[in-house]
Amino acid sequence: MKTNDYVKYLTQTFVQYMNQPKEERKKMKEERKENKEPFMLRWFGILPYAFAYFFKRKY
C-alpha cells in the first residue's frame, strides 16, 4: 500500500466517523467497552484466567 492510498483511507475513515451523529458515536463506544474481554485474558491468555477462576471458586 502506497503512502497516498493510506492517507486516502485514513481521511475517508475519519470523514465517515465525523459524519455520524454524536449520540451514535457514543453508543458505539459504549458497546465496544461492554464487549471488551477481561484484562487478564486479553494480555496473558486463558491459563492465568483459569487459575484465578479455579482458586476463587475453591476458596
* pLDDT of 32: 92
Domain count within the chain: 1
How far apart are the C-alpha atoms of 22 and 5, rounded to whole Å? 28
| Global confidence as pTM | 0.51
Range of the domain at 31: 3-58
* pLDDT of 5: 94
pLDDT tier at 59 (50, 70, 90 boundaries)? low
DSSP state of 20: S
The amino acid that residue 55 corresponds to is F
How far apart are the C-alpha atoms of 45 and 51, rounded to whole Å? 11
How far apart are the C-alpha atoms of 18 and 15, rounded to whole Å? 5
How far apart are the C-alpha atoms of 24 and 10, rounded to whole Å? 20
pLDDT in tens, 1-57: 688 999 999 999 999 999 999 999 999 999 999 998 877 777 888 888 788 888 887
* pLDDT of 2: 83
